[in-house]
Amino acid sequence: MSFTKALFGLQLLTLLLTALHAGSLQAGIIFEPYYSFSSTKSIMPQHSSGTQTETISKREEKGLRAGLSFYRLWKLVASVGESYHVSTSSVSALKDEYGEIDFSQDLNSSTSGQQQKKKEFQRRASVNLSLDPSFSIFIMRAKLGVVARQRLIELFVDDVSVAKENPQPTYKPQAGAGFGIKFTPNIYALAEYGFYFYKFPETKPFERELTVSYGFSF
């Protein structure tokens, strides 16, 4: 199954949800633009060579969700989106945080190194079943579903492209929980903490993400 077919399937699901709403079921319609961003930085010292490896990772994701709510409690939601991920790794001279030791001179190590960078673009689509109980102006969410993901990867060394990868699309489960606030009976904001099990059926390792969405239901 190609990613294009998965998107076509989501379009059919959206049409089905609209048809069900127009019929006797009279369920509510959901529309949620969403956005997430994360940035991490780590430093790994290599005392034997007098160097340290610094890695900076930034990820941004955005997309749309649409679906149906049943009895204002259960929700069946389909989503499409894309993400952009840049990971930069560079080697530099090991530094003493107190400024008392010159590791490069004392260890007679080379301070030269190459900067490695990975740029990754992802197309993602998912279908989730969620439980969304409401308490006054507050919303809670627990969800379980499947994610289709296609990755486009390019590797750089000192800003020169050296390789490109385009792995086959994958289809893996995801789960999550969220908490939000209703501004009106039909408009709300929701923060979700999710888990993507990319080594399924193994539960570890997994990818975590924090997503903020603004929703409309009617």
pLDDT tens, residue by residue, 15-30: 555 544 444 445 678 8
Name the CATH architecture for the domain at 3-217.
Beta Barrel (2.40)
- Per-residue pLDDT, 27: 66
Looking up tokens 């030269």 gives: 112
- Per-residue pLDDT, 22: 47
| Structural domain spans, the chain | 3-217
Contacts of 43 (CB under 8 A, 6+ apart): 52, 53, 54, 55
- Per-residue pLDDT, 145: 95
b/e burial code for range 30-52 (CB count within 10 A of at least 16 → b): bebebebeeeeeeeeeeeebbbb
Using CA atoms, how far apart are residues 65 and 56, in angstroms rounded to an integer? 30
In one letter, which amino acid is 91? V
- Per-residue pLDDT, 173: 95
Using CA atoms, how far apart are residues 115 and 138, in angstroms rounded to an integer? 47
In one letter, which amino acid is 135? F
Strand 51-70 vs strand 28-46: parallel, antiparallel, or unpaired? antiparallel
pLDDT tens, residue by residue, 75-90: 888 899 999 888 888 7
- Per-residue pLDDT, 142: 94
Secondary structure of 20-81 in the HEC alphabet? HHHCCCCCEEEEEEEEEEEEEEEEEEECCCCEEEEEEEEEEEEEEEEEEEECCCEEEEEEEE
- Per-residue pLDDT, 97: 55
Residues of the chain with pLDDT under 70: 1-27, 47-50, 92-114, 218
